[in-house]
Amino acid sequence: MKIAELFYSLQGEGSLVGVPSVFVRTSGCNLRCSWCDTPYTSWQPEGTELSLAQILDEVRAYPARHVVVTGGEPMIAPEILALTERLREAGLHITIETAGTVFQPVACDLMSISPKLANSTPEGPFRAQHERLRIQTDVLAKLMARYEHQLKFVIARAEDLDEVRSIVAALRADAGRVILMPEGVEPAVLRERSVWLAEICKEEGYRFSPRLHVDLWGSKRGV
């Protein structure tokens, strides 16, 4: 599998924020978010070919009980099924971070789904593909029905909430599993957006998630 990076850190977002976890980041994505914070897995995918045995050896070298399989889009990675089955055999709690555009019957304890809103759509040649793919309601419903899950939305402006409400309604999602996070890679921008986003969460009953990685390490890779 083409792996962009594999490292030990803290889960930075969502319901398991702060939990020590090994991150396995696959390279390659079917979307092209304008604000993608891992362009080395989407716009310019890079990485190293590792066998499943090599990945498992590296993961097991860390003292973690949690593993996060992320990307890019891990659901399009060849061997994703086998990888998750091997991680389960190793006794690890598996989170999969996905945009929810592709279904695979992976082994997973927390399906962390981050549907991409209109604020992610880029200008240029990828615009049409991104718009066509970014919300796949049938796939989202299937993932939610099969797995323990959370729905994470990246919010750049208050108007984004209209689209969140309509997706949540179409999926009949439980507001308690909907998590809003501020968009941004600069601590000052995140702080400013967090203040008004916290108020929106209080009004709508959604959960708020910080972006712990940015708070602690900014845009540094592999931490």
Give least dist CB 34 to ligand SF4, A.
9
Using rule CB under 6 A, residue 17 touches ligand SF4: no
CB 64 within 8 A of CB 58: no
The site map against ligand SF4 for 39-58 (x = CB under 6 A) is: --xx----------------
> What minimum distance in Å lies between the beta carbon of 199 and ligand SF4?
25
| By CB under 6 A, residue 75 contacts ligand SF4 | no
Q: Is there binding between residue 71 and ligand SF4 (CB under 6 A)?
A: yes
Of the candidates 3, 47, 59, 73, which one interacts with ligand SF4 according to CB under 6 A? 73
Size of the site for ligand SF4 (CB under 6 A): 13
Strand 149-155 with 110-113, pairing:
parallel
Backbone region of residue 124 per phi and psi (left: phi > 0; alpha: psi in -120 to 50; beta: other values): left
- The residue among 33 and 56 lying less far from ligand SF4, judged by its C-beta, is 33
182 binds ligand SF4 (CB under 6 A): no
* The pair of three-digit structure tokens given for residue 133, joined into one six-digit string: 């793919």
- Ramachandran quadrant class, 8 (left: phi over 0; alpha: psi -120 to 50; beta: rest): beta
Give least dist CB 71 to ligand SF4, A: 5
Query: For the purposes of burial, counting CB atoms within 10 Å of the CB of 179, is it exposed (0-12), middle (13-18) or buried (19 or more)?
Result: buried
Task: Verify binding: residue 26, ligand SF4, rule CB under 6 A.
Answer: no
Q: Which of 12, 47, 72, 115 binds ligand SF4 (CB under 6 A)?
A: 72
Residue type, 64: A
Give backbone dihedrals phi and psi of 215, rounded to 5 degrees, phi first.
Answer: -60, -45
Kindly give, in sequence order, each residue whose CB lies less than 8 Å from that of residue 189, ignoring residues fewer than 6 positions away. Answer: 182
Q: How far is the CB of 29 from ligand SF4 (least distance, A)?
A: 3
Q: Identify which of residues 56 and 80 has a Cβ nearer to ligand SF4 in the complex.
A: 80
DSSP state of 78: T
- With binding defined as CB under 6 A, does residue 112 bind ligand SF4? no
Backbone torsions φ then ψ of 66, nearest 5 degrees: -115, 140
Q: Does residue number 77 form part of the binding site for ligand SF4 (CB under 6 A)? A: no
